[in-house]
Each structure stands twice: as C-alpha cells, then as structure tokens.
Amino acid sequence: MAWWSRSRRVTEPTATPLDGVSLVLADLDGVVYKGPGAIPHAVDALIRSGETHRVAYITNNAARTAASVAEHLAGFGLPVTADDVVTSPQAAVKLLLDIVPVGSLILVVGGEGLVHELELAGYRVTRSAEDQPDAVVQGFHPTVGWEQLAEASYALHTGIPWVATNTDWSIPQARGIAPGNGTLVAAVHSAVARLPVFAGKPEVPIFEAAFERFGTREALFIGDRLDTDILGARRAGIPSALVLTGVDQAKQVLAAREEERPTFILGDLRELHEPYPAVQRTIGKDGAHTVTVRGATVRLAGHVLSIVEAGEHRIDLLRAGAAAIWDSGLQIYGLDVAEGLYA
C-alpha cells in the first residue's frame, strides 16, 4: 500500500492532523522545547489540543523521573502531571519484569530516572559488577563516563541480560546537537560483542506502555526525528507528524526511507489545528510526474525534480517535493533535486 493511502485523512482537505484520534502523544526535545526554552507556538498549540484530546508525552530521556519532566513542562505553562509522562525507564522496567524477577540486583548505567523506576518496581540497584548483578539496565545521563561503561562491560561478560532505554545517537541541546545514549550503548557493545534489548523509540515497548496507560491506540505521535520518532510510530501502527523544529529538516525529509516517512509534515505545532492540504498528482504525456500541494507545484521528469511554483507556504513546497520523491520509488542520491526544496 502506498504511503499516502494509509489513511484517507492524508488527502482530505478539510481534515486536520488531529481528526480521527483521541490521544496526542508528543516527544519533548525538539518538539516542546530545545535546551532551556520552549519552542515557539508549541505550548499554545498543545494547550489547545488538550481542549479536545488527551495530551501526553513520551520521552527517551532516561536522566529524569516522570515527575521532574512534568515539573519542567508545567514551568512552560502546560497542564501536566507525572501520569501524563511515559519515559523510557518506565518502558525498560516493563521489559525487565519479563526477564528477571522483582527483587533481583540490577547494575545501573545512568541516573536518577532509571534508579527511581527500578526501585519503584521492587528491584535492588548497584553500580558495581563485583556485586554480581542479575542484569544491566543502561540509559543516558550527562555524568555517564568510562567507569560506568566499564562496570557494565565487566558484568555483561558473564552473560546476564542487558536492557537499554533507547538508541538515540544524538540529542538536541541549546548549543547544538550532542551525543546521545546510542553512542554510549555502542561503546559497551564494542566491548561485549552483543546488543541489548531496547525499550524506547523507535522500538514498540514505550508506545505499548502509553497505549496501556491511556486506554487507547487511537493516537497521533508528534516527533522531530525520523529514525526514532517516526519509525517508532510506524512500528506501533499509529499516524505520525514530523515537526521541523528539532533535529530533522527538509533534506532528511526528502531522503526519508519508506519506514521513516511521516503521515504529516509540520512547520510548527500550530499546523496541528489547520486543515492538512491535499496532495494532487498528475502524469503528463511525456511521463513526467507533477505534484501540487495548495499553491506549491513540483515536477519530476526522469531524474530531475524541479520547482514549478513555490506557493505561499514554504512547508507546502516541501510536502510536494517529498510526495514526488516518495512516489517515485527512487533514491534521493539518484535524483537532481532543486536546491529550493531543501535550502
């Protein structure tokens, strides 16, 4: 089935991305805030969404507890409690419950967010492989260094289970993009020659934890990364919206792999409440494909993708360009793409 036909809402010009769902799940970094500050329009748009939908938050960030995340979001004016936040440590603990019994000793690589959830579930915690732990759970924290990674390696060489919160290679910070948990997991993987079981995006357990908590699978997930947020939503079987306020931008959208293509492409979260424009496709006598989104039109002839009309809304030009490339089945590196589509 083609990507655009998964839901009739994609091509219904009067529908918004929120139509047909009862739950809005939002990522945090790059969606709600970047560094210490809220992203423009995000808070107002999410508050408005909460007037008609249940709004909750999913985060791969394992450094903080759900309560501290909720407090952070409330500081921006969002009506959030800890129950509205699903964290990767919570998903990791749900995985661990199927692997080792409650009361087992767990070696933790990470911070308070992991320790809190493990102890809440009834596990004991250690930082040393010399204590002969029953499993290793690893998550990101800014203080994680060689010593913690080495302890994990020592313990894992005994063959015990290994659960990691997430595979994010990078995280957006106020000063730019920084290494994420995926880089730390890779360091341990290089030493022990095996991989952990992952709980967070793009894996399904964190989504399943949200569906169970909120009692519905009729959800829209909003994220800023194709390789974690959008891929995870696709794997979980729910529609997704990529918002261009975080990590991935126009170039990444145009080059997106099939399994990482969002249902909706948004410039910012105000567009959650706006009718999502229809994608119109025509094939000329010469075989060229023309794609129009509102006033923006692109043309793919052979391997050349050109701009016919830029339109009034720049986001529509990207939507049209993405549709043309995704429809073609061609790889981005084999195409001559007009710079105006991604500059």
pLDDT, residue 12, reads 46
pLDDT (mean) for 152-178: 89
Residue 264 β-bridge partners: 241
pLDDT of residue 6 exceeding 60: no
pLDDT, residue 61, reads 86
pLDDT, residue 267, reads 98
pLDDT of residue 2 exceeding 50: no
CB of 122 within 8 A of CB of 100? no
pLDDT (mean) for 208-216: 97
Render pLDDT for 11-63 as a digit per residue (tens, 0 to 9). Answer: 445 699 999 999 999 999 899 998 889 999 999 999 999 999 999 999 998 88
pLDDT, residue 182, reads 92
pLDDT, residue 13, reads 53
Tell me the whole-structure pTM to 2 decimals: 0.89
pLDDT of residue 10 exceeding 60: no
Burial of 86 by CB count in 10 Å (0-12 exposed, 13-18 middle, 19+ buried)?
buried
State both tokens at 258.
Answer: 């099939």
- One-letter amino acid at 275 equals P
Burial of 215 by CB count in 10 Å (0-12 exposed, 13-18 middle, 19+ buried)?
exposed
% of the chain with per-residue pLDDT over 70: 96
268 classed as catalytic: no
Render pLDDT for 256-280 as a digit per residue (tens, 0 to 9). Answer: 999 999 999 999 999 999 999 999 9
Burial of 67 by CB count in 10 Å (0-12 exposed, 13-18 middle, 19+ buried)?
middle
pLDDT, residue 343, reads 83
pLDDT of residue 9 exceeding 90: no
pLDDT of residue 176 exceeding 70: yes
How does the average pLDDT of the chain come out, rounded? Answer: 93
Q: Strand ranges (DSSP E) for the chain?
A: 23-26, 33-34, 37-38, 54-59, 85-87, 105-109, 124-126, 135-138, 162-164, 170-173, 176-179, 197-198, 219-223, 240-243, 264-266, 279-283, 289-293, 296-301, 304-309, 336-337
pLDDT, residue 173, reads 72
Pairing of strands 33-34, 37-38: antiparallel
Tokens 């080792």, residue located:
100
User: What is the distance between the terminal CA atoms of the chain, rounded to a whole angstrom?
Assistant: 31
CB of 273 within 8 A of CB of 45? yes
pLDDT (mean) for 319-341: 94
Q: Strand ranges (DSSP E) for 174-278?
A: 176-179, 197-198, 219-223, 240-243, 264-266
44 classed as catalytic: no
Which residue among the candidates 19, 27, 168, 327 is catalytic per the annotation?
A: 27
Residue 241 β-bridge partners: 222, 264
CB of 89 within 8 A of CB of 62? yes
Q: How many angstroms separate the CA atoms of 100 and 317, rounded?
A: 51
Render pLDDT for 106-163 as a digit per residue (tens, 0 to 9). Answer: 999 998 889 999 999 999 999 999 999 999 999 999 999 999 999 999 999 999 999 9
Render pLDDT for 239-261 as a digit per residue (tens, 0 to 9). Answer: 999 999 998 999 999 999 999 99
pLDDT of residue 8 exceeding 60: no
pLDDT of residue 193 exceeding 80: yes
Q: How many angstroms separate the CA atoms of 232 and 204, rounded?
A: 6
